[in-house]
Chain A
Amino acid sequence: MTVQDRVVGTPSPRVDGRAKVTGIAAYAYDRPVDDPVYAHPLQATIARGRVAAIDDVAAAGVKGVLAVVTHRDAARLADTEDAELSVLQSDEVAFRGQFIGVVLAETPEIARHAAGLVRVEYDEEPHDTELRADRTDLYAPEQVNGGFATDTDEGDVDAAMAAAAVTVDEIYTTPMEHNNPMEPHSTVAIWNPGGGFPEAPRLTLFDSTQSVHSVRSTLARVFGLRPEQVRVVSPYVGGGFGSKGMAHAHNVLAVLAARAVAGRPVKLALTRHQMFSLAGHRTPTIQRVRLGADEAGRMTAVAHEAVEHTSKIKEFAEQTAVGTRMMYAAPNRRTSHRVAALDVPVPSWMRAPGEAPGFFGLEVAMDELAAACGLDPIELRARNDPRSDPESGRPWSGRHLVRCLREGAARFGWEDRPVVPGTRRRGRELVGMGVASSTYPYYRFPGSRAVVAYGGRGRYTVRIGAADIGTGAWTVLTQIAADALGCPLGAVSVEIGDSGLPSATVAGGSSGTTSWGSTIVAACRSFRRVYGDDPPPGAEAGDDMPENPDAERYSMHSFGAQFAEVRVDADTGEIRVPRMLGVFSVGRVINPRTARSQFIGGMTMGLSMALLERSVLDHRTGHVINHDFAEYLIATNADVMDVDAVWLDEEDVHAGPLGARGIGEIGIVGAAAAIANAVHNATGIRVRDLPITPDLLLR
């Protein structure tokens, strides 16, 4: 049974909108605290080796410096299994930029100045940060991110490729990329030596995180506390895109610092520079994609083999080729992931890990196959649209990729696309159009609970430790609760962003609305079951996320079609993207206003990925040299012209009580491929390496 819509499906304005446009929304570092101490981290300037000596005499002597904490005197952690979080526990340096200490002072200026006075000597060891497909030490991880199998192999790809009438066999690469949310990772940590009870926690963190409960459980484990002794508060989060999905080293450093000045709040905000080594990144990928088809464009083989990096101290193996397993019908299919463990910072989640880089490779290869078959790229995809999930054999809960492609073609004016690449010129510019498919799985993570309380006078409060990182979750959850309770939107307040609230899973994997939303529906129904429509003030009831048996019976994925038009200056190679359109199939859309923002935001990040983003590792030093916004380019307002998104009016009856599959990540998937395919259509030049820069188009 699905919820009866009244406010679900309407474009309710953001409940946090006014606080955000006036700037009074208090993000982690904004939280007013008494008598703060300011922290400035010390970072390793070598990529591998040991700290041999630290001279902090000059720093410690600066008036206003309270402490210089290093591995020599930092508190010992209770659990050091996660090497990323094993901060200041030894003299070992595993990547450049790693924390090797922190200076604590009365003002940020003093802390920063004193940090510059600390002299560090190292015993340097040779390091290795270079990913190449011909490395001899590539290995197969036990599984890849998301718990997926590392390799799959069905049929005989090699024989099918040899027998195919038409083939594509190319290498595609995507660079190291950084999430770069606008709000740097920030934490205010308070260690209360006398505390230990829920009313006065031992450790309080005002943090910027996509998951207060996972930060709480992680820090409790690392510091040997019970979860109830830790409180993590994070009502407003200035973006995350995965990089704030879990606790990172700065959380541990802030707590170590707070222990050193127990009782006083320690404020730590990473600088933009520091974020490039300490807040996760997307691995570079080298992808070999092989496609085989008969004369009519029916695919006989698809193989997607990805090579990527991870850090030596902690494995994160991105699931680059996993999306290819279910995307197109072909009897012979192979995917694999091989990883090099390097002396690099720890990679992690970045918007649509797996699909975002993987669909650059796959969807550019599909464009190449269409050209090789002499078929329209939309027709090629339609001919290879599988009736059921080719990997699992399960029926789709709703696969409307071809509808998205056809609808997009009509809206975008696809029939005007030049058939022969490089043939349409307007003045100095070459003009072209491209298309690519998108997909993203329906994820729903167990572990959430919501509580509904009636405050009298028609007012309800719904509590769940969820996070709104800009997605609109706060608004959407309020809409869901109002409909589930059968009351007006204004009668419901939703409380989120505090580990003191009932447990919630991470704002990640496009899972928030479905996971938390279905939990809220269950809690509201429990409340009505117990108290009916006329509850007494103070009435309270809660429930956990309900099971969804259909999740085991159906293959559940969202789909989309991405269209791009590009103009390339024939003399300079400058690339402009005057139009992008996404058509998505995501189940029910709870709030068209915030949903559209999510889609176009993802597509804008995809444009940025296509044309601008690349973290440059200097292999001589292990250093990301372009570690700021002047040199790590992200799309600016002037780069983005007309980006629009629409969606099919539908409901996925297998996706739980909301009929929604999640929307946060699909917008970036395929966007870069659509632009690359449009560049090919405009210029006749096939670019297989991101980002697509003007120099690649000057031939």
Chain B
Amino acid sequence: MDARITLRVDGRDRSLTVDTRTTLLDALRDHLSVTSPKKGCDHGQCGACTVLLDGRRVVSCLTFAVAHDGADVTTAEGLAEGGEPHPVQRAFLEQDGFQCGFCTPGQICSAVGMLEEVKAGHPSHVTDDLTGPVTLDDEEIRERLSGNLCRCGAYVNIVAALREEADS
């Protein structure tokens, strides 16, 4: 069964017809040629497909496109407005927070979403005080980004990049 939907992707309205079985990830990649979200597992276990869906980070392989008619999707490509890297992207470049680059767009979307969650006071598994503002220390960064796997082992540099962001 097909459905006609509209998605706002990286600031552009895109209309498309999708099979109702099409995931948001496949809609972006196969239908719209937006390939910065990557398919690492298709099971929501690796985070490579992370995008910001209406401002919140989601693994786009675990949600159907048809369920998001009218939604706003931001990918790592869209975070670079006018081609200028987002501050988080600049921090990844400075700290060499990646190697092969495949998990990187997902890491970056996840990090941007995570920083907003911290700003909004969302606690994590390692937050001691569930009521007060969150201090984004290394343990918090690691915990909050542990849904994004990196097989090259760039975690230490990713944390350094986010620490730079948290301090600024």
- Residues of A bordering B, CB below 8 Å: 13-14, 16-27, 29-30, 32, 107-110, 113, 180-184, 236-239, 241, 269, 271-272, 469-472, 593-594, 596-598, 600-605, 608, 628-630, 634-644
Residue from A22, A107, A642 whose CB has the most chain B CB atoms within 10 Å? A22
Can you name 13 A-B residue pairings with CB atoms under 8 Å? A14-B93, A22-B83, A22-B85, A23-B108, A24-B36, A29-B29, A107-B30, A272-B43, A470-B98, A470-B101, A602-B153, A636-B149, A637-B145
| 4 tightest Cβ-Cβ pairs between the two chains A and B | A23-B36, A238-B102, A604-B153, A20-B101
Main secondary structure of the interface of B (DSSP, over half): loop
B99 touches A17 (CB 8 A): no
CB of B115 within 8 A of chain A? no
Closest-by-CB residue of B relative to A240 is B100
B46 touches A182 (CB 8 A): yes
A182 touches B85 (CB 8 A): no
A180 to B158, CA, bound (A): 20
Partner of A180, one of B76, B147, B151: B151
B152 touches A601 (CB 8 A): yes
A604 touches B155 (CB 8 A): yes
B156 touches A642 (CB 8 A): yes
- Additional A-B contacts beyond A109-B21, A593-B96, A637-B146 (11; CB < 8 A): A17-B93, A22-B79, A23-B36, A26-B35, A236-B101, A239-B151, A271-B42, A601-B154, A636-B146, A640-B153, A644-B156
Q: A residues within 8 A CB of B45?
A: 272, 628-630
B41 touches A629 (CB 8 A): yes
Closest-by-CB residue of A relative to B36 is A23
Q: B residues within 8 A CB of A471?
A: 99
Q: A residues within 8 A CB of B80?
A: 21-22
A637 touches B159 (CB 8 A): yes
Q: A181-B151, A629-B41 are in contact. Are A469 and B92 (CB under 8 A)?
A: no
Contact flags B81-121 to A (C-beta < 8 A → 1, else 0): 00101000100111010111111110010000000000000
Q: A residues within 8 A CB of B102?
A: 27, 181-183, 238-239
B76 touches A21 (CB 8 A): yes
CB of B143 within 8 A of chain A? yes
Partner of B29, one of A30, A182, A600: A30
B153 touches A21 (CB 8 A): no
B101 touches A25 (CB 8 A): yes
- Residues of B bordering A, CB below 8 Å: 19, 21-22, 26, 29-30, 33, 35-43, 45-46, 48, 75-77, 79-80, 83, 85, 89, 92-94, 96, 98-105, 108, 138, 141-143, 145-159
A634 to B147, CA, bound (A): 12
B158 touches A597 (CB 8 A): no
A24 touches B77 (CB 8 A): yes
A604 to B157, CA, bound (A): 12
Min CB–CB distance A387 → chain B (angstroms):
35
Min CB–CB distance A68 → chain B (angstroms):
20
Closest-by-CB residue of A relative to B22 is A109
Min CB–CB distance B143 → chain A (angstroms):
5
A472 to B108, CA, bound (A): 20
Q: A residues within 8 A CB of B92?
A: 21
Q: B residues within 8 A CB of A608?
A: 153
Closest-by-CB residue of B relative to A36 is B30
Q: B residues within 8 A CB of A17?
A: 93, 98
Residue from A180, A183, A236 whose CB has the most chain B CB atoms within 10 Å? A183
A21 touches B41 (CB 8 A): no
Q: A238-B100, A643-B156 are in contact. Are A22 and B89 (CB under 8 A)?
A: yes
A182 to B141, CA, bound (A): 21
Q: A residues within 8 A CB of B30?
A: 107-108
B93 touches A597 (CB 8 A): no
Closest-by-CB residue of B relative to A269 is B39
B99 touches A21 (CB 8 A): no
Residue from A30, A594, A643 whose CB has the most chain B CB atoms within 10 Å? A30
Q: B residues within 8 A CB of A107?
A: 19, 22, 30
Q: A residues within 8 A CB of B158?
A: 637
Q: B residues within 8 A CB of A472?
A: 99
A596 to B156, CA, bound (A): 11
Closest-by-CB residue of B relative to A608 is B153
A183 to B37, CA, bound (A): 12
Partner of A23, one of B43, B75, B141, B156: B75
A601 touches B153 (CB 8 A): yes
A600 to B97, CA, bound (A): 12
B142 touches A23 (CB 8 A): no
Q: B residues within 8 A CB of A23?
A: 35-38, 75-77, 104-105, 108
Partner of A272, one of B35, B36, B41: B41
Q: B residues within 8 A CB of A18?
A: 85, 93
Min CB–CB distance A208 → chain B (angstroms):
9
B104 touches A635 (CB 8 A): no
Partner of B101, one of A16, A180, A639: A16
A236 to B26, CA, bound (A): 20
A470 touches B152 (CB 8 A): yes
A637 touches B155 (CB 8 A): yes
Min CB–CB distance B58 → chain A (angstroms):
16
Closest-by-CB residue of A relative to B141 is A637
Q: A residues within 8 A CB of B77?
A: 22-24
Min CB–CB distance B150 → chain A (angstroms):
7
Q: A residues within 8 A CB of B19?
A: 107, 109-110
Residue from B19, B37, B101, B158 whose CB has the most chain A CB atoms within 10 Å? B101
A597 touches B38 (CB 8 A): no
A184 touches B40 (CB 8 A): yes
Q: A residues within 8 A CB of B37?
A: 23
Min CB–CB distance A663 → chain B (angstroms):
12
A641 to B157, CA, bound (A): 11
Min CB–CB distance B39 → chain A (angstroms):
7
Min CB–CB distance A456 → chain B (angstroms):
27
B142 touches A637 (CB 8 A): yes
B93 touches A605 (CB 8 A): no
B151 touches A30 (CB 8 A): no
Q: B residues within 8 A CB of A597?
A: 96, 99, 152, 154, 157
A602 to B37, CA, bound (A): 25
B38 touches A27 (CB 8 A): yes
Min CB–CB distance A365 → chain B (angstroms):
26
Q: A22-B89, A30-B29 are in contact. Are A629 and B99 (CB under 8 A)?
A: no
B40 touches A183 (CB 8 A): yes
B46 touches A469 (CB 8 A): no
A638 to B89, CA, bound (A): 21
A180 to B157, CA, bound (A): 21
Q: B residues within 8 A CB of A184?
A: 39-40
Partner of B93, one of A21, A237, A598, A629: A21
A182 touches B103 (CB 8 A): yes
B150 touches A182 (CB 8 A): yes
Q: B residues within 8 A CB of A22?
A: 36, 76-77, 79-80, 83, 85, 89, 105
B43 touches A108 (CB 8 A): no
Q: A residues within 8 A CB of B150?
A: 182, 637
Min CB–CB distance A30 → chain B (angstroms):
4
Closest-by-CB residue of A relative to B159 is A637
Min CB–CB distance B19 → chain A (angstroms):
5
Closest-by-CB residue of B relative to A181 is B151
Closest-by-CB residue of B relative to A241 is B151
A635 touches B153 (CB 8 A): yes
Q: A17-B93, A597-B154, A635-B153 are in contact. Are A640 and B142 (CB under 8 A)?
A: yes
A634 to B146, CA, bound (A): 11
Partner of A638, one of B39, B85, B143: B143
A469 to B98, CA, bound (A): 11
Min CB–CB distance A285 → chain B (angstroms):
21
Min CB–CB distance B137 → chain A (angstroms):
12
